[in-house]
Amino acid sequence: MSSIISISNLTKTYASGVQALKPVSLEIKRGEIFALLGPNGAGKTTLINIVCGIVTSSGGTVLADGHDIVRDYRLARMKIGLVPQELHTDAFETVLHTVSFSRGLYGRPRNPEFIEKVLRDLTLWDKRNAMIRTLSGGMKRRVMIAKALAHEPTILFLDEPTAGVDVELRRDMWDMVRSLREKGVTIILTTHYIDEAEEMADRIGVINKGELIVVEEKAALMKKLGKKELTLQLQEPLTAIPAELSDWQLDLKADGLELHYAFDGTSDPNATGRGISSLLKRVSELGIGFKDLNTKQSSLEDIFVNLVHRDSGAGK
C-alpha cells in the first residue's frame, strides 16, 4: 500500500452553516512531502484538524496508515504529530516538561535520550529548563514542533509552519523537514506562500472554498502555475488568426484588436521554437502591425481564480 493517508469524500459543515469542506478525496503517499496550498479560509486547517481529531467531520472517512481515524483512533493518532498554526503553549511549564508530557500523552513510555535528541535537533536543549513564557515567538514555535515529534510520529502535519517565522528558523525548519523525510516521515504542510510549496513539496494540492481543485506533482503544477501571458495590441483588427500562427495557440480578443499568447514561464519556450521572439518575428513577417505589447506573469491569485473558474466550468 503506497498511501499513508486515504481521505475519501470528507465533508464538513459547521454549526453556523458554513460548508468548510465539500466532498474531498485525497491520497497522501508514504514518505512524501505534500503541500496543501490555498488562500485563507480555503479549508486547509479544517482538513488537517479532522484528520488529527480536533474537528468532527460531517461525512466521509479517513484512514491513517490503514487505521480509521474514528474507529481505530488510538492507533491512528499514535502515528500522527501535529504542529498547529497558533502558538498554544503552557506558559508556566518548562520546555523539557512540556515535551516529555506530550510523549506520555501519546501513549509512549519515557525516553529521556530521545527527548534530548529532539530538543538538540531543534536547538532547544540549552533552553530545556526555561519556562515557555520566557521564550521568543520563534523558540515557542520550535517547542511546538518538539512536542509534535516527541512520540515519534510517522506522519507530521505542519499547519502554516512559517507564518510569522524569521528567516533563520524558516531555514532550520526546512532542514528539519528534509531530514525527517529521509527518516521516512510523511509530511503534510499547509501554506499560502507558493514559493514555500515550490521549495519543499513533492506534490501539491490546491484547495479553494473547501474544494480540492488540483493535486499534482510539483513539477507539473509549477508549469501550470507559472503561466505568462503576452498581449499584442494590433493596429488593424483581425477577423481570424492566420494559419501561419497556429503553432502558438493564440487567442483573439477585443473584437480582433488583441492577440493573446499564454505560455509556460518556467521552461525556455524559445528552445521549442514557440517562444516570444519567434512569434514576434512571424507576426512582422506576416505584416501584422501592433501598437503596443505587454507581458504579464500570473499571480497566485490569478491562478486560483483560473483554477476555480475552470473547475466550475467543467462541473456544468
Partner 1 sequence: MRAPLFNVHGVSAIYRFEMARFTRTIWQSLVTPVITTSLYFVVFGSAIGSRMQDVHGVPYAAFIVPGLMMMTLFTESIFNGSFGIYFPKFVGTIYELLSAPISPLEAVVAYVGAAATKSVVLGLVILATASMFVSIDIAHPIAMVGFLVLIAVTFALFGFILGIWANSFEQLNVVPMLIMTPLTFLGGAFYSIEMLPAAWRVVTLFNPVVYIISCFRWSFFGQADVPVALSVGLTVAFFAACLVAVGMIFKTGWRLKN
Q: In the complex, which residues of this chain contact partner 1 (CB under 8 A)?
A: 14-15, 49, 52-56, 72-78, 80, 82, 84, 86, 88-93, 97, 100-110, 147
Edge to edge, what strands does the sheet with 203-208 contain? 80-83, 155-159, 186-191, 33-37, 203-208, 211-217
The answer to whether 237 touches 255, Cβ cutoff 8 Å, is: yes
* Nearest distance in Å: CB 173, partner 1: 19
* 274 Cα distance to chain centroid: 31
Residues 6+ apart with CB under 8 A from 2: 29, 30
**Which C-beta is closer to partner 1: that of 91 or that of 219?**
91
* Residue 48 or 204 having the CB closest to partner 1: 48
How far, rounded to the nearest angstrom, does the alpha carbon of residue 171 sit from its chain's CA centroid? 17
When the beta carbons of 103 and 218 are compared against partner 1, the nearer one is 103
Q: Which is nearer to partner 1, 49 or 231 (CB)?
A: 49
CB of 304 to partner 1, least distance (A): 25
Q: How many CB atoms neighbour CB 307 within 10 A?
A: 17
| Under 8 Å between Cβ of 124 and 95 | yes
Which residue from 200, 180, 176 is spatially nearest to 190, judged by alpha carbons? 200
- Whole-angstrom Cα distance, residue 315 to residue 28? 25
CB closer to partner 1, 110 vs 281: 110
For the chain, helix, strand, coil in percent to 5 are 40, 30, 30
Give 66 or 275: the residue with its C-beta nearer to partner 1.
66
Q: How far is the CB of 96 from partner 1 (least distance, A)?
A: 12
> In whole angstroms, how close is the CB of 164 to partner 1 at the nearest point?
16
Q: How far apart are CA 185 and CA 177, in angstroms?
A: 9
Query: Taking the complex as a whole, how short is the minimal distance between the CB of residue 175 and partner 1, in angstroms?
Result: 25
Min dist. Cβ of residue 117 to partner 1 (A): 19
